[in-house]
Structure 1
């Protein structure tokens, strides 16, 4: 079955101009095998439909994809190769016609990037991707600015700011952003998450924020004003520490991982290198590899024996894809890591080969099959 997916991947690379010299040789060898004088017993109607789909897409591909211009003399050859491989895949997949996706329109699945929306206290929304660097607004006694690409910064204008004035930072699927709160606390917001926070902590007894999704916090020390994160039915209270909270609505549990300092979760004390797992019915504390929990802040995924279903939820948020499963996924676990900027097919190939799984990609929909 592996050859089927390799073939599709090479066709995708041919279409996007990312085909290497060795891969080009493989395609040409397939053409020799399947595009020569060999007689092939095919269902003519199905084959004609397949080839017509490929032929109809080829002119658009040549016009739109400038990367193909480094083969200016071989456009016809490229067409021949695509048609020949279409025949090859048709034969190879003939019993499973539902998986013949090589002639459909292919939407590139790109990794996530810096991006977010900021909602001010008056309801105004600022799309940060489109905003220039510099001051964006004055709100509740603080000035909010876009400091760098992918970072928002708050500076209190005086010590009489309004702690009741809140802003909300929202990342969509496929986005991440960094935030510097007015007290100096640093927050990294992962994909598909939101953080609601005061624009000023002046006059407040505690520094309280609300998290949905995942955030990594480096809390500025202030012994007189505890920092409290409310998230998915739990409260995490700290004075100054580094920790990660993951509490997505589609996850059955909320995870709090401590790197340094100490935190209190629902009256339980967490030590560095420990992780609190909160479900609807209980709270448990385990020793863990804390660095794995924040690998995403350093551009990597890292998993410690997690099931493929949970892993694909993480991947789907970052690559903004829809994932479905066919078959029993119990026992399909993975331990290891990879870059968050790898091509999604590279990651899927690794996960599939490790767990003896197969997958298909159709548009932005990925199907994992046992």
Structure 2
């Protein structure tokens, strides 16, 4: 029966199959099996629990009962395509929570630009959502190519606002992809220094060119990450409670600059600096690199963490007046969904109300959790 549901949502069902689906849903045993299937898939794919399955089933049954032909069905079900969950069945479950207990205003992100500040103080702006910048295109200052005087090194600084991303190609051919809400400072050339040192606040994915004689160091507020040539992700937002270095390939050494202690990180591991303690643990790499593909991936993330990521991704301000929600954990993957659709998906598992105006979301306090 579930394959007919999927065909129905995908608009691939024939008139004969539609008739079978309508008839099948009248059977109490089929109804029970369908509820169990949706509930199981919801739990596995998104971690959704305590879904009102009776409401989901009744909504589906009501839609089917009102269908006169395939054309009406296609028009009426177009909103189901927002696919807030990983599978179509989860989208079905989530879609029945649309437009419940909230005020709706069309969301328009702030029109901010990526800025590149050169050594001479001049500013370059980039309107692209994902800018690609080569260090050779923007060199300021009078740095001698073979100078041994570190004071001669010229630095550029790029600021990537919420809702944007940028890719930088450095002078040694290393590549840095910067996530929303990041500030990155780098030299226009690594000549004249024994190290390739850059500074990061925010999040970036590094693909570092190998040079055993000149280690590459990423400096953050509390942790330095040293590499020779590798791929890794560093997350060090000011408003986060920890700094993370996740290794994809190669080898890195993470150093706690507060205590001068360090750890070696292997592929598939993360160095975490939290509450002044530096630790290493295995991680699911895709959780920390999904943003490279434009995905928002949540795996057992608290609501507080989810809101921070949504703020950066959509360039909005979210005020949560319901602190009870902060420790509720969520799972889900989103790509093309709007901000409203993502919040609606989370409402399937947890009841909350919010208002949306311009680029500010206010989550209300008065609604009890399910």
TM-score interval w.r.t. the shorter chain?
0.5 to 0.7
- Give the CA deviation at 1:363: 2.5
Over residues 188-217 of structure 1, what are the superposed CA-to-partner deviations in whole Å (9 max), with x where a residue is unaligned?
Answer: 011111100100011210000000111110
1:112 touches 1:174 (CA, 8 Å); kept in 2?
no
Q: Among 313, 318, 326, which residue is 1:323 paired with?
A: 318
In structure 2, what is the equivalent of residue 289 of structure 1? 284
In structure 1, what is the equivalent of residue 107 of structure 2? 108
Q: Does residue 327 of structure 2 align to residue 338 of structure 1?
A: no
2:271 touches 2:278 (CA, 8 Å); kept in 1?
yes
Structure 2 CA distance for partners of 1:119 and 1:111, relative to 1, 3 Å:
closer
CA RMSD of aligned residues (A): 3.0
- Where does structure 1 lack aligned partners over 5 or more consecutive residues? 4-19, 26-88, 94-98, 131-147
In structure 2, what is the equivalent of residue 152 of structure 1? 133
- Where does structure 2 lack aligned partners over 5 or more consecutive residues? 1-51, 56-73, 80-98, 256-261
Over residues 292-317 of structure 1, what are the superposed CA-to-partner deviations in whole Å (9 max), with x where a residue is unaligned?
Answer: 20110111011210101111101101
In structure 2, what is the equivalent of residue 119 of structure 1? 117
Larger mean Cα displacement after TM superposition, 277-286 or 351-360: 351-360
1:190 touches 1:214 (CA, 8 Å); kept in 2?
yes
- Give the CA deviation at 1:235: 0.5
Structure 2 CA distance for partners of 1:265 and 1:304, relative to 1, 3 Å:
same
In structure 2, what is the equivalent of residue 307 of structure 1? 302
What SS does structure 1 have at the residue aligned with 2:135?
strand
- Give the CA deviation at 1:149: 6.5
Alignment of 1:24-63 (within 5 A): none
Q: Among 48, 60, 76, which residue is 1:22 paired with?
A: 76
The number of equivalent residue pairs is: 260
Structure 2 CA distance for partners of 1:127 and 1:239, relative to 1, 3 Å:
same
In structure 2, what is the equivalent of residue 209 of structure 1? 198
- Give the CA deviation at 1:236: 0.4
- Give the CA deviation at 1:367: 2.6
What SS does structure 1 have at the residue aligned with 2:279?
strand
Q: Among 269, 276, 279, which residue is 2:271 paired with?
A: 276
What SS does structure 2 have at the residue aligned with 1:150?
strand
1:111 touches 1:344 (CA, 8 Å); kept in 2?
no
Q: Does residue 117 of structure 2 align to residue 128 of structure 1?
A: no
TM-score normalized by the length of structure 1: 0.64
Q: Among 172, 197, 208, which residue is 1:219 paired with?
A: 208
Cα distance between partner residues in 2 of 1:108 and 1:188 = 27
- Give the CA deviation at 1:22: 2.3
TM-score normalized by the length of structure 2: 0.64
Q: Among 197, 215, 222, which residue is 2:186 paired with?
A: 197
What SS does structure 2 have at the residue aligned with 1:294?
helix
2:110 touches 2:359 (CA, 8 Å); kept in 1?
no
In structure 1, what is the equivalent of residue 155 of structure 2? 166
- Give the CA deviation at 1:109: 3.5
Alignment of 1:59-98 (within 5 A): none
Over residues 247-269 of structure 1, what are the superposed CA-to-partner deviations in whole Å (9 max), with x where a residue is unaligned?
Answer: 11111111111111111011210
Q: Does residue 349 of structure 2 align to residue 354 of structure 1?
A: yes
Cα distance between partner residues in 2 of 1:24 and 1:282 = 50
- Give the CA deviation at 1:330: 4.8
Q: Which of 1 and 2 has higher RCO (CA within 8 Å, sep 6+)?
A: 2
2:107 touches 2:356 (CA, 8 Å); kept in 1?
no
2:130 touches 2:165 (CA, 8 Å); kept in 1?
no
Cα distance between partner residues in 2 of 1:280 and 1:332 = 22
Structure 2 CA distance for partners of 1:256 and 1:361, relative to 1, 3 Å:
same
